[in-house]
Amino acid sequence: MSEPSRGLNAPARRMPPPQLIALREAHLADAVRLSAALDWPYREADWRFAFDLGQGFAAQADGRLVATALWWPYGRTHASVGMIIVDARMQGQGLGRALVSSLLDAARDRTVLLNSTKEGLPLYARFGFVARGRVFQHQAAMDGTVALAAAPVPAGVRPMHAADAGKVRQLDLAATGMDRTALLDALFGAGTTMVLDRGTGASAYACMREFGRGLVIGPVVASGADAAADATGLIAALARQARGRFLRIDVTDAAGLSPWLEKSGLPCVGSAVAMVREARAHPVDAGATARLFALSNQSFG
Q: What is the pLDDT of residues 65-84, one digit of tens each?
A: 999 999 999 999 999 999 99
Please spell the DSSP secondary structure of 91-134, one letter per residue: TTSSHHHHHHHHHHHHHTTSEEEEEE-GGGHHHHHHTT-EEEEE
- For domain 136-270+282-294, the question of CATH label 3.40.630.170 is answered with yes
User: Above 90 in pLDDT, residue 242?
Assistant: yes
State the sign of the Cα–Cα–Cα–Cα dihedral 29, 33, 36, 38: negative
pLDDT, mean over the chain: 91
Contacting residues for 124 by C-beta, under 8 A, at least 6 apart: 100, 114, 116, 275, 277
CA neighbours closer than 13 Å in the CB half-sphere of residue 113: 22
Given pLDDT bands bounded at 50, 70 and 90, which one contains residue 230? Answer: very high
Given pLDDT bands bounded at 50, 70 and 90, which one contains residue 5? Answer: very low
The C-alpha atoms of residue 213 and residue 224 are separated, in whole angstroms, by: 34
Task: Give tens-digit pLDDT for 115-137.
Answer: 999 999 999 999 999 999 999 99
CB 114 within 8 A of CB 129: yes
pLDDT of residue 8: 39
Of the candidates 214, 293, 234, 208, which has an alpha carbon nearest to the alpha carbon of residue 258? 293
Q: What is the mean pLDDT of residues 226-247?
A: 96
Architecture of the structural domain at 19-108: 3-Layer(aba) Sandwich (3.40)
The C-alpha atoms of residue 105 and residue 160 are separated, in whole angstroms, by: 37
The C-alpha atoms of residue 31 and residue 24 are separated, in whole angstroms, by: 10
CA angle 286, 232, 227 (to 5 degrees): 25
Given pLDDT bands bounded at 50, 70 and 90, which one contains residue 288? Answer: low
User: Above 70 in pLDDT, residue 62?
Assistant: yes
User: Above 60 in pLDDT, residue 283?
Assistant: no
pLDDT of residue 3: 33
Lowest mean pLDDT among 17-21, 160-164, 287-291: 287-291
User: Above 90 in pLDDT, residue 285?
Assistant: no
The C-alpha atoms of residue 281 and residue 142 are separated, in whole angstroms, by: 43
pLDDT of residue 15: 55
Task: Give tens-digit pLDDT for 14-49.
Answer: 556 788 999 999 999 999 999 999 999 999 999 999
Q: What is the mean pLDDT of residues 211-237?
A: 96
User: Above 70 in pLDDT, residue 280?
Assistant: no
Domain boundaries in the chain? Answer: 19-108, 136-270+282-294
User: Above 90 in pLDDT, residue 282?
Assistant: no
pLDDT of residue 93: 87
The answer to whether the 19-108 and 136-270+282-294 domains have the same CATH topology is: yes
